[in-house]
A and B are shown apart, each in its own frame.
Chain A
Amino acid sequence: MEERAFSDISYAQFLGEEKLMGSNCKQCGAVYVPPRPKCIKCHNSDMQWIEMKGTGKLAAFTSISIGPAFMIEEGYNRKNPYCVGVVELDEGPRVDARIESVEPSKPGNIKVGTPMTVKFLRRGESVDKKTYLAFEPL
């Protein structure tokens, strides 16, 4: 796995394998999810892969009533909203993710700071099948 480029394509491949992977600067130790091909703190480009534990806390979220076409196709609308948000991983980096196993129609009950755990969502058919990042309360 060390041979994969530190790229969005590799990141998506790992998600398909149900692994949340980041890149780790060998010089200063900074961790990036999604992976970066170079360290933007110390400008070193000697990176290694690091797997995240997949736990963190909800940093911010929203409940979307009017989504993009692909979410509408999945059946989401004003009567059936969905949640997305930002999760701060225990290792430090933040990721954008769907937020599952909450009540999107009662967003006032969802609390920033809630401990979360990763869940891998699949969308699309056969060759177009992709895995997306989601989190749900621990």
Chain B
Amino acid sequence: MMKRRKLGRGVTVVGAGMSKFGMYKDKDSKDLFFEAFQEMVRSVDKGLDPNDIDALYVGNFSNDFFMHQSHWGPILTDLIGVTPIPATRTEGACASSALAFREGVFAIASGFYDVVLVGGVEEMSKCSTELVAEGLALAAVPYENEVGFTFPGVFGTIATAYFAKYGATHENLMDVTIKSHNNAPLNPKAQFPFTIRDIMNSKIEKAKSQGGPLPEWQTEKDFLRDPRANPPVAWPMHLFDCCPITDGASCMLLVAEEIAANFTNDPLYVVGIGQGSGRGLHAAPTLTSFEATKRAAEEAYGMSGLTPRDIQFAEVHDCFSMAEILHIEDLGFFKAGEGYKAVSDGLTRLDGPKPINTSGGLKCKGHPVGATGISQLIEVWTQLRNKAGKRQVPIKDLRIGAAHNLGGTGGTCTLTILERR
């Protein structure tokens, strides 16, 4: 039995903001972080004096590689005018900002700080696609890189193992894609706010205007089965199984529970926070599960006293469609080998019993890697505070949501559970 871990004192979230996600020629990391910060400041019900911020933790995976600029902590404290407070960058590949959140929580729980800004930023689209792929591969394990694996290849490999073990097919992965694309148009921050049907219609219109032969797709799956519309990237991962390249930033304001009322009457409580580490494909205990996710979940559930059943909705790290299925099993929402059925049966849709990735997920909202972890928590914040508009989860008495963030080949995973009281 794992030791039950507790925070030294309660920590709450009292503000949150993110930039719009997308590919921007005319915005850089500072512009994006400023956009996120300004939205966060506006979200604090009773206002925020920036001079009250004690410290900054910011997640960034690889702006050093993508933009030839490292050391983002002090650049951002200067940007928002809070120098010389301490500024620390965290790096855990695609889980970098979930680590920033966690360090911020610990800094407050320890009693050392009262008000901490946590955030994440990544600027990727000014790099060529080949360089982005090379940069992202820095987070894999060397044995994978040297024989020619890519990240889509890692998840394609996992998919063949999963298919062989449980009988799932690529048709089930299409249900993940279709579901995420159904949520995305309801999210004003999403990079691709389109349903698969929207994309089909626009391609048909384009074919009509060009006088070419009209595609014969009837259903969304006809479209996704068409290799011209949805070419393989790393079979069985196709284009629409993969998240895009994205620029973006996110941030949240954490404060000690005893002073939360100075900022809002409606704080969210950090009730569970877990993290784990994992190994590459060759050494992982199985190819169809991430040990780091399981460890993170065990820690977060243990701390909160909650079970997977208590999590009313969640954002999970769907860098690839296959990943989403693994995570909803590893987090205990569904049994091993049954996640794909749950998705295909509609259980994870916005109106299902366990909504997953109501934001559109990494697939449609976008994946600026260092900003992703906190952007997932912002979706949880938005839903729990009933501010999600048309994508509001239609569950009565929405109180508990979670975000799962993954880096590398499952090398770093986190689970964070927030509660509205």
Contacts and interface: CB of A to CB of B under 8 A. Distances in A.
B158 interface: yes
Interface residues of A, number: 36
A132 B146 contact: yes
Nearest to B131: A69
6 contacts: A8-B142, A63-B234, A64-B152, A64-B234, A65-B231, A68-B130
A61 interface: yes
Contacts of A97: 147
Given A81-B232, A86-B281, A95-B282, A64 B160 contact: no
Nearest to A74: B148
Contacts of B232: 63, 65, 81, 107
B153 A64 contact: yes
A96 B158 CA distance: 12
Contacts of A54: none
B283 interface: yes
Given A59-B287, A60-B164, A64-B156, 13 more contacts: A59-B161, A60-B161, A63-B156, A64-B153, A66-B133, A68-B134, A68-B137, A85-B160, A86-B157, A95-B143, A112-B160, A112-B164, A132-B146
Given A95-B282, A96-B143, A66 B233 contact: yes
A8 B142 CA distance: 10
Contact of B280 (A85, A96, A134): A96
Contact of B282 (A64, A72, A96, A113): A96
Interface in B367-417: none
Given A60-B161, A94-B283, A72 B130 contact: yes
Interface in A66-124: 66-72, 76, 78, 81-82, 84-86, 93-98, 107, 112-113
Contacts of A65: 231-235
B282 A94 contact: yes
Interface of A: 8, 33-34, 59-72, 76, 78, 81-82, 84-86, 93-98, 107, 112-113, 132-134
A62 B235 contact: yes
A124 B70 CA distance: 32
A9 B169 CA distance: 39
Contacts of B137: 68
Given A62-B153, A64-B234, A93 B282 contact: yes
A64 B148 contact: yes
Contact of A112 (B147, B152, B154, B161): B161
B236 A107 contact: yes
